[in-house]
Amino acid sequence: MATLEIHDLRVSVEAENGPREILRGVDLTVRQGETHAIMGPNGSGKSTLAYSLAGHPKYTVTGGTVTLDGEDVLAMTVDERARAGVFLAMQYPVEVPGVSVSNFLRTSATAVRGEAPKLRTWVKEVKETMELLHMDPAFAERNVNEGFSGGEKKRHEILQLELLKPKIAILDETDSGLDVDALRIVSEGVNRVRGTGEVGTLLITHYTRILRYIKPDYVHVFAAGRIAESGGAELADKLEEEGYESYVKGGASA
Amino acid sequence: MAEITPAGSTTDGAITVGQQVGRPGQPTDARVSAAPSFDVADFPVPHGREEEWRFTPLERLRGLHDGTAQATGTVRVEVIAPDGVTTRTVDRDDPLVGTAGKPVDRVAAQAYTSFEKATVVSVPKEAVLTEPVRIGLHGEGGTVFGHQIVEVGAFAEAVVVIDHTGDATLAANVEYLIGEGAKLTVVSVQDWDADAVHVAQHTALVGRDASFKSVVVTLGGDVVRLHPRVVYGGPGGEAELFGLYFTDQGQHQEHRLFIDHDTPHCRSNVAYKGALQGKDAHAVWIGDVLIRAAAEGTDTYELNRNLVLTDGARVDSVPNLEIETGEIVGAGHASATGRFEDEQLFYLMSRGIRADEARRLVVRGFFGELVQQIGLADVEERLMAKIDAELEASVG
């Protein structure tokens, strides 16, 4: 069973006046089949956690360990992490002009699966998944993320999630900027992947709204670069009523 | 790709409307320092600050610009043509020589003044070729002054591939004479060895209702400076100018286009794309379009896109549109230089794609549509293989 173990993870970014520590000792274990929601106020370091796990060069790991089934994730390059089974659905997916969605999807599926998918089954697989996400077939011929609306970008991320079938899926504010219909469609996609029982999900969000569609097993409150409180789904209800204020005050001096 | 311009680049394009340029009745460019002439003596030796020379490293032209270059070398000319096409070698007094137009700068005039024999390839009228004409120009070292003419008779259709390889210091004029209702596609490949210097003017005279399509592919050489020009011989003419360049470390690749809309109801469409990598890679693209008062019904668009793959490369991209009549169908230009950014690389790699594969994906995507314009499988494959090799060299 795939397990992502994060232990005492510390991460800095380069700021104007030297390095600034953003993650200050994160401990978290995500097992296959589990869904963990990470909630927290803006600036608490949620997205830094997501990007650090994916290996974004902007973030420097200064301490701690991350392992996937015992393998050192931090020692892997960005592409190696993806091939090992870590997937990050980005909050702000990047435009790649000149590269069509279909070419991109096939190239990444080939990389992650270790061999080129058979053309006929692949075309069918992409088409069916796009239909489930209410994406126009013409979408496949557009350039990656170029001119996509916010909702289209998120659906495209979830399309990749469904096709690449990672062991660990990190969803960074996938709900932000979506209207109710789009949120439902995107959540259904995530739930299809969760339904296989083969993926551990790290759902990073500012709002409790998405948790009505995607039921977490665990909820963690993130504040000042670490997990301030952990609980079950009921913790989200408390946040819904009380907001993050108590955590922000508690962490303000840190 | 973000529309950003790397430090040290220019994209100071301009659209000027209603301004009278040049002298009436004289085919003067928008921005040159001397009138066109067949005689090199009519051009002062450039010092490098002139508008048409300001981007060019004169010290690397091996004297082509200042009269010191002497014809010492050989470029082997080989023409493979389908039946019906004639190939001749003519003297400079042949009536065909110089009919497309005069040289517009000192090096072109030097080439005109100094060449000995011109190669003329003629496609007879109404002939529709099913195979391309292949003109191989292989440099065997030394300085050469060249002149080639491709003549396509009325209502004929032809594809011509001009392939520059080997090593040379070449100054040349190429004339394309396209008869009424004819269609000519020319693919000019600059696949020189690393030390070659190539400065040339390509002048197309597009006849009434004729179509001219040019695909310029510049890969090799130390300095390549091409000056494709289009003039129209009658109304209804159409010109499509496509270009691809891959500018590597230390290379200077300059494409200066001029389209002279002096005839009503003609069209032009320009799209040049270049990728750059390595220290002191320098690409220059100048797109001058002049719509004269008589050229009512003109429709023109020009585009230049550059993709900077590494630090240290420089792009100068200058579109210029001068319009002397409001009675046109359309006129526009676009220029943008973007970097292949770390964020794009990260995004692709986060989907399991290796860094070199990611770079190849982006560059192939960037050139994709233009490569398809070549329409010749062997040239397309060779081009993509070259680009892949250049990319691999940069990663290694």
List pLDDT tens digits, range A132-158: 999 999 999 999 999 999 999 999 999
The count of other CB atoms within 10 Å of the CB of residue A20 is 10
pLDDT band for position B24 (cuts 50, 70, 90)? very low
Examine residue A114 and state whether it is found in any structural domain, yes or no.
no
Examine residue B37 and state whether it is found in any structural domain, yes or no.
yes
Q: Which residues of chain B does A94 touch, with a Cβ-Cβ cutoff of 8 Å?
A: 341, 343-344, 346-347
Tell me the angle at which helices B377-395 and B355-374 cross, rounded to the nearest 10 degrees. Answer: 160
Kindly report the backbone phi and psi dihedral angles of residue B347, in degrees, each rounded to the nearest multiple of 5, phi listed first.
Answer: -60, -45
Examine residue B248 and state whether it is found in any structural domain, yes or no.
yes
B82 is written with which tokens? Answer: 């389908």
pLDDT band for position B8 (cuts 50, 70, 90)? very low
Distances (CA, A) of B329 to A242, B291, B323: 63, 11, 12
Q: Which residues of chain A does B367 touch, with a Cβ-Cβ cutoff of 8 Å?
A: 98
pLDDT band for position A174 (cuts 50, 70, 90)? very high
Examine residue A99 and state whether it is found in any structural domain, yes or no.
no
Q: Are B340 and A98 in contact (CB under 8 A)?
A: no
Examine residue A116 and state whether it is found in any structural domain, yes or no.
no
Torsional sign, CA A42, A45, A46, A52: positive
Residue B211's H or E segment, with its range, is strand B211-218
Distance from CA of B182 to the nearest CA of A (A): 33
Looking at residue B119, what is its pLDDT?
97
Q: pTM score, two decimals? A: 0.81
Of A101, A199, A98, the C-alpha closest to B351 is A101
CA distance B185 to B159: 5
Express as a percent the part of chain B with pLDDT over 90.
Answer: 78
Q: Which residues of chain A does B348 touch, with a Cβ-Cβ cutoff of 8 Å?
A: 96, 104, 108
Looking at residue B84, what is its pLDDT?
95
B307 is written with which tokens? Answer: 């993709």
Q: Which residues of chain B does A104 touch, with a Cβ-Cβ cutoff of 8 Å?
A: 348, 351, 361
Contact call for A79 and B355, based on CB within 8 A: yes
pLDDT band for position B235 (cuts 50, 70, 90)? very high
Least confident of A234-248, B100-114, B247-261: A234-248
Of B200, B231, B205, the C-alpha closest to B216 is B200
B158 is written with which tokens? Answer: 């032809």
Looking at residue B396, what is its pLDDT?
42
Q: What is the CATH number of the domain that holds A34?
A: 3.40.50.300
Task: Provide the domain count of chain B.
Answer: 1
* Three-state secondary structure string covering chain A: CCEEEEEEEEEEEEECCEEEEEEEEEEEEEECCCEEEEECCCCCCHHHHHHHHHCCCCEEEEEEEEEECCEEHHHCCHHHHHHHCEEEECCCCCCEEEEEHHHHHHHHHHHHHCCCCCHHHHHHHHHHHHHHCCCCHHHHHCEECCCCCHHHHHHHHHHHHHHHCCCEEEEECCCCCCCHHHHHHHHHHHHHHHHCCCCEEEEEECCCHHHHCCCCCEEEEEECCEEEEEECCHHHHHHHHHCCHHHHHHHCCC
Write the residue in B1, B342, B346 that is nearest to A95 by C-beta. B1
Looking at residue B365, what is its pLDDT?
85
Looking at residue B364, what is its pLDDT?
87
Kindly report the backbone phi and psi dihedral angles of residue A237, in degrees, each rounded to the nearest multiple of 5, phi listed first.
Answer: -65, -40
Whether A57 contacts chain B with CB within 8 A: yes
- Residue A14 CA from chain centroid, whole number: 23
Looking at residue B339, what is its pLDDT?
84
Kindly report the backbone phi and psi dihedral angles of residue B383, in degrees, each rounded to the nearest multiple of 5, phi listed first.
Answer: -60, -50
Whether A163 contacts chain B with CB within 8 A: no
Asked if this assembly's ipTM is beyond 0.90, the reply is yes
Kindly report the backbone phi and psi dihedral angles of residue B352, in degrees, each rounded to the nearest multiple of 5, phi listed first.
Answer: 90, 0
Average pLDDT over residues A32-40: 96
B370: nearest CA partner in chain A: A98
Examine residue A106 and state whether it is found in any structural domain, yes or no.
no
Average pLDDT over residues B343-361: 94
Write the residue in B341, B351, B362 that is nearest to A108 by C-beta. B351
Higher-pLDDT residue of A42, B349: B349
Contact call for B352 and A112, based on CB within 8 A: yes
Contact call for B343 and A94, based on CB within 8 A: yes
Triad B365, B196, B57: Cα angle to 5°: 85
Looking at residue B15, what is its pLDDT?
60
Q: Is the pLDDT of residue B18 over 70?
A: no
* Three-state secondary structure string covering B220-270: CCCEEEEEEEEEECCCCCEEEEEEEEEECCCCEEEEEEEEEECCCCCEEEE
Reported as half-sphere exposure (CB side, CA atoms, 13 A), residue B173 has a value of 32
Examine residue B395 and state whether it is found in any structural domain, yes or no.
no
Specify the DSSP class assigned to residue B93: T
Structural domain boundaries enclosing B266: 14-340
Examine residue A145 and state whether it is found in any structural domain, yes or no.
no
B80 is written with which tokens? Answer: 């493979």
Examine residue B377 and state whether it is found in any structural domain, yes or no.
no
Contact call for B351 and A112, based on CB within 8 A: yes
Examine residue A120 and state whether it is found in any structural domain, yes or no.
no
Looking at residue B11, what is its pLDDT?
56
Long-range pairs for B63-69 at CB < 8 Å and ≥24 separation?
B63/B143, B64/B107, B64/B110, B64/B143, B64/B169, B64/B171, B64/B197, B64/B199, B65/B106, B65/B107, B65/B110, B67/B40, B67/B110, B69/B110, B69/B143, B69/B169, B69/B171
Q: Which residues of chain B does A164 touch, with a Cβ-Cβ cutoff of 8 Å?
A: 351-352
pLDDT band for position B217 (cuts 50, 70, 90)? very high
Structural domain boundaries enclosing A225: 3-94+151-251
Task: Provide the domain count of chain A.
Answer: 1
A99 is written with which tokens? Answer: 């590269």
List pLDDT tens digits, range A80-121: 999 999 999 999 999 998 899 999 999 999 999 999 999 999
Q: Which residues of chain B does A143 touch, with a Cβ-Cβ cutoff of 8 Å?
A: 365
Express as a percent the part of chain B with pLDDT over 70.
Answer: 91
B71 is written with which tokens? Answer: 């014809």
List pLDDT tens digits, range B152-169: 999 999 999 999 999 999
Looking at residue B394, what is its pLDDT?
66
Examine residue B315 and state whether it is found in any structural domain, yes or no.
yes
A59-68 vs A3-15, strand pairing mode = antiparallel
Examine residue A73 and state whether it is found in any structural domain, yes or no.
yes
Of A196, A201, A195, the C-alpha closest to A170 is A201
Distance from CA of B347 to the nearest CA of A (A): 6
pLDDT band for position A245 (cuts 50, 70, 90)? confident
Contact call for A82 and B347, based on CB within 8 A: no
Contact call for A79 and B346, based on CB within 8 A: no
Looking at residue B13, what is its pLDDT?
58
pLDDT band for position A253 (cuts 50, 70, 90)? very low
Q: Is the pLDDT of residue A74 over 80?
A: yes
Reported as half-sphere exposure (CB side, CA atoms, 13 A), residue B89 has a value of 8
* Average pLDDT, rounded, for chain A: 94
Looking at residue B28, what is its pLDDT?
43
Q: Which residues of chain A does B365 touch, with a Cβ-Cβ cutoff of 8 Å?
A: 96-100, 103, 143
Examine residue A118 and state whether it is found in any structural domain, yes or no.
no
Least confident of A209-223, B2-16, B175-189: B2-16
Looking at residue B9, what is its pLDDT?
58
